[in-house]
Amino acid sequence: MTRAQQTISIGLLVSSIYLAAYLQLIPFGSKIQNEIIPVLPLWAIVSFGAFLLFKLGLGVFTFNNVPKAYDSLMVEIEEAKKDLRSKGITVD
């Protein structure tokens, strides 16, 4: 099963469970049924957005903590410049 199939399967499972709860096929208390279940999709979107913002902020915060990757990238850039110069291309 590929990752896309797995994601689609989980999405269909979650959406079918939500739809069954929303249409009152799964019995809950009246307070849960009327006040909580209708706002679950909004809550999920807000939570997912907060998670993505956290991941973005963490990535920006730890961006400078990879000196080995920087050194590796600089070596690759120099190799590319040497290769281009050997082919007669001017590189600044």
- Per residue of the chain (92 residues), what is the pLDDT tens digit? 799 999 999 999 999 999 999 999 999 999 999 999 999 999 999 999 999 999 999 988 887 667 788 888 899 999 999 999 999 888 87
Do residues 46 and 56 share a domain? yes
Longest dimension (CA), the chain: 77
Do residues 44 and 84 share a domain? no
Question: Whole-angstrom Cα distance, residue 30 to residue 35?
Answer: 8
Q: What is the pLDDT, as a whole number, of residue 59?
A: 85
Q: What is the pLDDT, as a whole number, of residue 62?
A: 81
Do residues 68 and 57 share a domain? no
Compute the half-sphere exposure of residue 18: CA atoms within 13 Å on the CB side of its CA: 15
Q: What is the pLDDT, as a whole number, of residue 5?
A: 96
Do residues 19 and 36 share a domain? yes
Q: What is the pLDDT, as a whole number, of residue 91?
A: 83
| Segments forming the whole domain that contains residue 45 | 1-61
How many domains does the structure of the chain reveal?
2
Do residues 68 and 54 share a domain? no
Do residues 31 and 68 share a domain? no
Do residues 70 and 47 share a domain? no
Do residues 37 and 3 share a domain? yes
For the question of whether the overall pTM of this predicted structure is more than 0.75, the answer is no
Per-position DSSP letters for 34-72, written without gaps between them: IIIGGGHHHHHHHHHHHHHHHHHHHHHHTTTS-HHHHHH
